[in-house]
Amino acid sequence: MNLTERDKKHIWHPLTQHKLHPESKPIVKAKGALLYDEDGREYVDAISSWYTAMYGHCNDFIIERAHQQMQQLDQVIFSGFTHEPAVELSEKLIAILPENQQKLMFNDNGSTSTEIGIKMALQFHHNKGQTRKTLLAFEEGFHGDTLGAMSVSGLSVYNGPFEEFFIDVKRIPLPNGENETAILKAIESFHAETPLAGFIYEPLVQGAAGMKMYQAAHLEPILQKCKELGIICVADEVMTGFGKTGSFFASDHVAVKPDVMCLSKALTAGLVPMGITTCTQEIYDAFYDDDIGKGLFHAHTYSANPIACATAIAGIELLQSEEIQSNIKQIESWHQQFAEEIAKHPKVRVTRQQGVIFALELAIEMERYGDLRYKIYEFCMAEGVYLRPLGATIYILAPYITTKAQVEKIYRAIRKVLDTF
């Protein structure tokens, strides 16, 4: 049997209805911006494998750091122990985060990173003797697939039969410059009815919602209102972090800084899983007490895995390099030129861009995981480009090392989609 047949015997893939889509394509190799299947065909990874491999697949610099680390210290429990890679990573990460971030908690992935952010917000008030059990979130936000993260997510396609178990959440629409007064009044009304513990948000770009974008200036009054009401601001930068929006973090664009930040995906450059949740000194101090019960009793077996820490350190060094920063600016300019061209196409409803994130909405009605979406996906694969449309939204979030020729190949595939469907 080939890999596809062997896969079908035992594996249950994520976000897949196997009765409708029983086969998965075997990928046997990856390098730079390219994926290779078992037949030797190559595909430009136009979404960096869910926004992780931002410095390219199998990056030699990152692999060497991981190799060095795994010969020194592979894994050790992080409760009661510490190690050099974790300490160095904490120092390097805090140095590039917004200056109010002072403490960090290691975890495993994006969902657990936001889960901890939610727990920090809820327990912060509990430790202070306040009853605040309700959270605030944007409509159509997405924060992960664990139960707490699902609670604050607003995309029903993921939540399905679990909604009756969720934390209480109030929702507000994305700010657009015209609805600020209504949003602020809604927050005040929600808070008067049942005090809000925290506000979780994807700054500037709602990824899973279809790369929906909004302005920093429109977010700031919401964060300021939350600060006034003592609502903990939790920035979910799992997708936006590490250079994608044109700065190290999307929160760098926003004057009002979050109390908590959730990180993963590009954190370890696509090599190994890891998440980190950071917070201000004020948040940390609410858990610092002689009462052991006021501690944040949350742990993961692989918290601060030394190899993951080593890859994250290498990733930060690459992010700060002149080469990667130059590449980011170059990709931004290519996308701007493509947007100007493609916006005129009758099949394009609108284009959006923030940093290296580019998205266009098709002027076609289609379901998020409907048949037409899969046809477009397969069409692009036949063109040698891995794109994963979010309903009617086609987006690009390619590695920072993607060449001009590879980016043009992505653009050509999108042009053909527009002319074919």
Domains and CATH numbers, the chain: 3-58+322-420 (3.90.1150.10), 73-320 (3.40.640.10)
Q: Using CA of residue 380, residue 381, residue 384, residue 387, what is the dihedral sign? A: positive
Instruction: Identify the pLDDT of residue 367.
Output: 84
**Residue 386 vs residues 49, 170, 222, 314, 347: alpha-carbon distances, Å:** 9, 36, 37, 26, 21
Q: For 330, how many CA atoms within 13 A lie in the half-sphere containing its CB?
A: 15
Residue 84 dihedral angles phi and psi, to the nearest 5°: -55, -45
Is 265 annotated as belonging to a binding site?
Answer: yes
The reply to whether 110 sits in an annotated binding site is yes
**Residue 111 marked in a binding site:** yes
In the chain, count of helices (H) and strands (E)? 14, 16
Is 131 annotated as a binding-site member? no
122 near 188, Cβ under 8 Å?
A: no
pLDDT band at 12 (very low <50, low <70, confident <90, very high): very high
Is 112 annotated as a binding-site member? no
User: Is the predicted pLDDT of residue 158 greater than 80, yes or no?
Assistant: no
Q: Which two tokens stand for residue 196?
A: 């809000």
φ, ψ dihedrals at 93, nearest 5°: -70, -45
Q: What are phi and psi of 208, to 5 degrees?
A: -65, -20
pLDDT for residue 27: 97
12 is in an annotated binding site: no
**For the residues 333-337, what does the mean pLDDT come to?**
98
Distances (CA, A) of 323 to 31, 117, 228, 326: 18, 33, 41, 5
Eight-state DSSP code of residue 263: E
The tens digit of pLDDT for each residue in 220-261 reads 999 999 999 999 999 999 999 999 999 999 999 999 999 999
What's the mean pLDDT in 380-384? 98
- The confidence score (pLDDT) of residue 23 equals 92
